[in-house]
Chains A and B, each alone.
Chain A
Amino acid sequence: MSHEGHYREAHPLIFVFTHWINLLCMIGLAFTGFYIHYPFFAGFMNGARTIHFTLMFILLINLTSRVILAFWVKDANQLGSKAVDTDLKNWLPQEENKHQFMETVKYYLFFRNTRVISAKYGALQKIAYLATVPIILYMAYTGFALYTPAQSWGIWPFFAAGVSFFGGAMGIRIAHYFGMWVVILFTMVHAYLAAIDGFKPLWGLIFLWRES
């Protein structure tokens, strides 16, 4: 038994680009973030901070573009199909698959052996992808709250509320730090599942836009 076919209709070229941008930003943000947290070699602090802020702006622009594109780019919503529909349907959990959620959990915990019928993205997968939006916004909010500690900016009260919510400047620093681990865990699981579920056709398509 082989894996389902992966067609260009499932991942249009524009989303190959947005996915690349996400990946490169995440790697850059995590590396410079770790450096800003604890500078493990000398001479890079100014560069690390500049890169960190720049990449976050790029990531936010990319996220905004990706969300807007989801409303009008058409791509395949079903596994192994070339029939296209609005991309947004890939994001939102479907009513017809709500009973497949627990079955998917059981499958990944080896309590069942046949794959679960689902759309292009499984029930768990949809929730995980949808969650990336609030996670990125959360990282942006906590990050900017750390970036604007002087009260001279007019926008400060918007962030001061968050600083107070997390119990002060140290609290929001730790919240931002743990948020990065959530992103890292997501990326680990995401890459792992994409690797065991047909590494060659899937990665070839999403990174090189190559059908196999």
Chain B
Amino acid sequence: MAQEVRGEFYDLLAARGVTRRDFMKFCGSVAAVIGLSEVYAPQIASAIAAGTLQPALWLAHGLCTGCTESMAQIGVPDVPTIVLDLLSVNYWETVMAAAGTQAEDNITATVDKGGYIVIVEGSVMTGQGGNVLRIAGKPGVDELKEVCSKAKAVIAVGSCAVDGGWVAGDPNPAKATGVQAYLAQNGIKTPVVNLPTCPVNPEWVVSVLVDYLLVGALPPLNEFNEPKSLYSETIHDNCPRRGHFENGEFVQFGSADQTAQEAAGFCLYQMGCKGPQTKTTCPLVRWNRRVSWCVESGSPCIGCGTADPLKGGPGNWVDAGTPFLSRLADTRLPGIGGVQPSTIGAVVGGVAAAGLVVHGVVSASKGRIKGVPQESEKKFDSKNKSSEGGDK
């Protein structure tokens, strides 16, 4: 198909310093990420090379621009950059040259033309009637509703866009929430793909986009609207340190052997690693041009890939994951604040033990340990004997 287009495309790649071989290798890895065999690499190459420019808008809401930073770490010059050039991204606040009215006009023009997809970075800030975040002189949520309602699909990149992320952490003063939840509350039925983690992994964004360009549909999603191929297995199950977990070899924070344990690459479970309950492909895809990822570089997983987009609240990974270096999240007690469940257990157990000791001493002083006479008649019976004939 479209041999001449492909030729032009490879010229374009060559101008960017990317060889045909590099490009095919990239297509093979994209195939792997989206769950296809590498034999699909040529088809993926065709889809990318012959693809018409897919209009897209990258919206910035309650964000730190970390996800955009993460996208920038796909390499310079690298093939994904070219792939993203194949999208006609008409608005990307953090990186675009346009500003002011000219930039906002790009949104209006794209929405009027239709057939576009939306990528949202950052949480939906609903506080103070949406005035916590104002964009182009209007509440930010107005822009989100208008743009998303007419889009073909919405891709929520990063934890904040998925379920509010950091911004929605307790006590959530900006009343931040995720894109999917917000659209559902407002009756907007545009399909949403969620790509949690903080920041988003650029490889996953590329894989979803390529999947969309290739087959014209979104990838199969799980119950949280996350691509099944990316969010079905725990980090723990694919972790390079897993063997040390099974052997019971852990990095012990503050111990004399800590340096040696870290050098040996022991498991970070004792340091509060959330890998056993976080489902992402971080250990396989890795980050920063596939150089490394959190656990490989020595930090326990903090569970940023956990999300329950429609539920939010206590399902939010920030509330559920802190303190990051503890095995369990703090339980929030009214009037006291966050307390570790193990502290609560020990206090309750200690109080109960003390109570039993006191009870035992009083029982002994009243002679109960030797035995106490039983009542000769039930109290209820003696009270009600005359009037009702007593208990049965």
Contact = CB atoms under 8 A, between A and B. Distances in A.
Given A189-B356, A198-B371, A42 B345 contact: no
Contacts of A3: 371
Nearest to B330: A174
B380 A99 contact: yes
A174 B250 contact: no
Contacts of B369: 196
A168 B352 CA distance: 30
B391 interface: yes
Contact of A192 (B246, B356, B377): B356
A137 interface: no
A43 B311 CA distance: 39
Contact of A1 (B269, B274, B353, B372): B372
B342 interface: yes
B270 to A, nearest CB: 6
B327 interface: yes
Contacts of B331: 174
Interface string A153-171: 0000000100010011111
B345 A110 contact: no
A187 to B, nearest CB: 11
A167 B374 CA distance: 49
A203 B366 CA distance: 22
Contacts of B269: 39, 45
Interface-centre pick from A100, A149, A188 (highest chain B CB count, 10 A): A149
Interface in A141-192: 146, 149-152, 160, 164, 167-171, 173-174, 177-178, 180-181, 184-185, 188-189, 192
Contacts of B249: 42-43
Contacts of B308: 164, 167-168
Interface residues of A, number: 50
Interface in B233-272: 233-234, 237, 245-250, 269-270
B363 interface: yes
A96 B391 contact: yes
B330 to A, nearest CB: 10
A99 B391 contact: yes
Contacts of A174: 328-329, 331, 341
B349 A181 contact: yes
B277 A164 contact: no
Nearest to A49: B246
B270 A149 contact: no
Interface stretch (A68-76, A114-122, A125-133): A114-122
Interface in A31-64: 37-39, 42-48
A188 B327 contact: no
Given A39-B250, A149-B234, A188-B356, A113 B372 contact: yes
B372 A152 contact: no
Contacts of B352: 185, 188-189
Nearest to A47: B248
Contacts of A149: 234, 276-277, 279
A149 to B, nearest CB: 5
Contacts of A113: 366, 372
A108 B356 CA distance: 11
Contacts of A150: 232-234, 237, 279
A1 B368 CA distance: 9
A170 B232 contact: no
Given A110-B362, A167-B320, A1 B370 contact: yes
B113 interface: no
B315 interface: yes
A115 B372 contact: yes
B236 to A, nearest CB: 8
B75 interface: no
Contacts of A38: 270, 327, 342
Enumerate the 3 nearest inter-chain pairs by beta-carbon distance, A residue then B residue, closest first. Answer: A169-B277, A167-B314, A99-B380
Given A95-B392, A169-B306, 11 more contacts: A39-B250, A46-B246, A46-B247, A99-B380, A114-B373, A114-B374, A146-B277, A164-B308, A168-B308, A168-B315, A188-B352
11 contacts: A39-B269, A45-B269, A99-B391, A117-B378, A150-B232, A167-B320, A168-B315, A173-B277, A178-B341, A188-B353, A196-B363
Interface of B: 222-223, 232-234, 237, 245-250, 269-270, 274, 276-279, 303, 306, 308, 311, 313-315, 320-321, 327-329, 331, 341-342, 344-345, 348-349, 352-353, 356, 359-360, 362-363, 366, 368-375, 377-380, 391-392
